[in-house]
Amino acid sequence: MALSRWALPEVPTCPYCLVAYSEEREPQRFDCRQHDCCRDCVVQFVSFGIKQCPECRVAIGEPTTDRWLLRLVLFIRTAREAQRKRLDSGKPLTFEAKHFIEQAHAYLEKLFGDHGPAARGQIPLAHQIPTLPPLEDIECVTCWNTFSQENKPVRLTCNHCVCADCAAQWTNTCPKCRASYNPDEVEVDESLLAMAIFYPDLCATIEESKQHGVNCEIFNVLAELHACTKRALVNAAHAGPAPARGAAGSEEAFERELAMAMAASEAEWEGR
């Protein structure tokens, strides 16, 4: 079952200057623990003598970097770029990347499902945030080394992944399905690489941040990711071929998929 349509939300932005968060413009969490803004806006607030959160009027105090939101920002940016490259090549997600999405959706369902603490649009408390489980398929099935920038996953002809070293050394046969492949035609699976790099760091960050809980910005990002994974998996069985380079262009195809996912997300939350 090819999963070609997995649109991701936009990179979260500062609610005041509307510039996307990044490593240079890190999100800062106020003492209210519910609202964020970028570091540059915090400096502006201080220079203007503003000492309260603009949203809830709680004293700003000493804002700290919201590492949880920053990790989500970096993942979305990296995954969106990987999505563009994949659409440009006209290929679906690999089996391993699809499995990652299934597991991510299962986790998000614990928060946003019918019986989850966020089912009614309410921000979950710290003790209601489930621990992220260890994920399968983010390591090479042949050498068991975790995928990383130094050990990149490559897509075989059969749409399975192994690490680049194993793809070069293996007997030109996929270790999972035994399909043959040409070592000269394998390519890095950018989508799975983004997930493999993002996930372990996010696990550690969430455990460190649990005492503070989820704030409004993180809640909104997780809700959008939940809607995107849900829509992708529901439509996977009916997905046509991945958009290829052509008259519409991969960029237009990407934006069209994104618009469809966001419309579904809005409709879902309006109906709650």
pLDDT of residue 250: 43
The answer to whether the CB of 129 falls within 8 A of the CB of 111 is yes
The model's pTM is 0.71
The answer to whether the CB of 251 falls within 8 A of the CB of 86 is no
pLDDT of residue 3: 47
Collect all residues with Cβ–Cβ distance below 8 Å to 43 and sequence separation of at least 6: none
pLDDT of residue 267: 54
- In the chain (272 residues long), the average pLDDT of successive 10-residue segments reads 58 91 90 85 88 82 84 84 72 74 82 81 78 70 82 84 82 80 81 78 74 80 82 57 39 51 50 48
